[in-house]
Structure 1
Amino acid sequence: MEPLYCGTSPIVGFRFSLHPMSGNFIKIIKGALNRTDTSNVWMHTDDVSTVIRGKQNQVFNVAKAIALHAAKTGEHVALSGTFSIGCPGDSEGDAYLEKSDELPNQDATPQYVSSQFALYPMNNPAYMEVIYREIDRAKAHGVFNESMHYASGIHGDIHDVFAFYEESFTHARSEEYRHLVMTLSMSINSPSHGGNAHA
């Protein structure tokens, strides 16, 4: 399914913060960013967070790669962020919409992650139907963990989890309701994962 337009731009954005539970947090964060090929997205980092913007497939590819590179340090890391599409007036970074669909980050290293996400189909009066449908999609994909207040738990291999998130992000919006926000929080290499850490 092709990204849907809102106004003049189908730009997808992801603003996130990476939190390594380590005294070497600066090295881990900068290392993850530097090891990720970000040539197909617009990116800016400030003292609080990083934003990446561009075509949907490229943004999700970079987001997963950054999380995976941070995880490969073996340290407990947390990532939290917000995906958005269809935001009125979103145009900066339009040049990156001309990038090809070839994905530059292809590291297939398995990595267990535990995460939570929430969908916000903006202006859609049937938003709960959309959310329930995507929860069913997570169950069908085998990545659903548990229901909880204000979010839904998603876990499994990082590649399966991000594949679900991108698919859900596509299907939770429509031609009529194009503005969508999706938040996620992710925990990797946590001691609390126990036996699931190698699932």
Structure 2
Amino acid sequence: MEDMHCGTSPIVGFRFTLSPMTNDFVEVIKGALEEVDTSAVRMHTDDVSTVIRGKQGHVFNVAKALALHTAKTGVHVALNGTFSAGCPGDSAGDAYLDKPDEQLNHDRTKQYVSSQFALYPMNHPDYMSVIYREIERAKERGVFNESMHDASGIHGDIHDVFDFYEEAFTHARSEDHRHLVMTVSMSINSPSHGGN
């Protein structure tokens, strides 16, 4: 795997920090990990963040499940992370590409989230058209919130939001431009969300 050129591996990664706003944050995170099936992805945590790598569907499924199970405690949760595709990164993660496509986490509990995202189609000469196209997709899906500097606001039920993020991540890549980075910031159970 070491001689693979950037862009040839289908592996997707998500490096993130999950921050429950409570003194019991360790127990909240551990509880979520116990509820989420992470067997279809490679997961590694260091003293700063956690990374999950594998097939795209599994990475998004685990990311959503971790956010959802953390949010179900009722505490205010912040999630900040970066999805990426287009470089092999690590050969250990590639082993998870043999996992069956069936997703392992199926909790459909409704949960409002407010979030922001930014797309970075690497080396794409017309990258702004890609970004604008995905913003239009967000509007069509009913999850667009507002435009802002350096990001776009996305909100709604966590399942609709993650469905949009995965769809945008899929469509922002192409055979000619496979290297993509997408940053996501989420706020869940914030007092400022009011009745949502």
Query: Residue 21 of structure 2 corresponds to which residue in structure 1?
Result: 21
CA distance in 1, matches of 2:7, 2:56: 16
- Counterpart amino acid of 2:119? L
- 1:3-60 alpha-carbon deviations (Å, 9 max, x no partner): xx95441100000000111011111112112211000000001111110000000000
- Counterpart amino acid of 2:23? G
- The sequence identity of aligned pairs, in percent, is 78
Q: After TM superposition, give the deviation of residue 92 of structure 1 in Å.
A: 3.0
- Counterpart amino acid of 2:66? I
Unaligned runs of 5+ in 2: none
- 1:90-135 alpha-carbon deviations (Å, 9 max, x no partner): 5331111011111100000000000000000000010000000000
Are the equivalent residues in 1 in contact too, given 2:8–2:87 (CA < 8 A)?
Answer: no
- Counterpart amino acid of 2:30? K
Are the equivalent residues in 2 in contact too, given 1:11–1:90 (CA < 8 A)?
Answer: no
Moved more, 94-103 or 178-187: 94-103
Query: Residue 192 of structure 1 corresponds to which residue in structure 2?
Result: 192
1:1-199 paired onto structure 2 within 5 Å = 7-87=7-87, 89-195=89-195, 197=196
User: RMSD of aligned C-alpha atoms?
Assistant: 1.3
CA distance in 2, matches of 1:118, 1:148: 10
CA distance in 2, matches of 1:37, 1:88: 24
- Counterpart amino acid of 2:60? F
The alignment partner of 1:186 has SS state of strand
- Counterpart amino acid of 1:28? V
Q: TM-score under structure 2 normalisation?
A: 0.95
Unaligned runs of 5+ in 1: none
- 1:154-187 alpha-carbon deviations (Å, 9 max, x no partner): 0000000000000000000111000000000000
Are the equivalent residues in 2 in contact too, given 1:9–1:91 (CA < 8 A)?
Answer: no
Aligned length: 192
Distance 1:140 1:183, change over 3 A: same
CA distance in 2, matches of 1:164, 1:37: 22
CA distance in 1, matches of 2:184, 2:81: 6
Q: TM-score under structure 1 normalisation?
A: 0.93
The alignment partner of 2:185 has SS state of strand
CA distance in 1, matches of 2:148, 2:113: 17
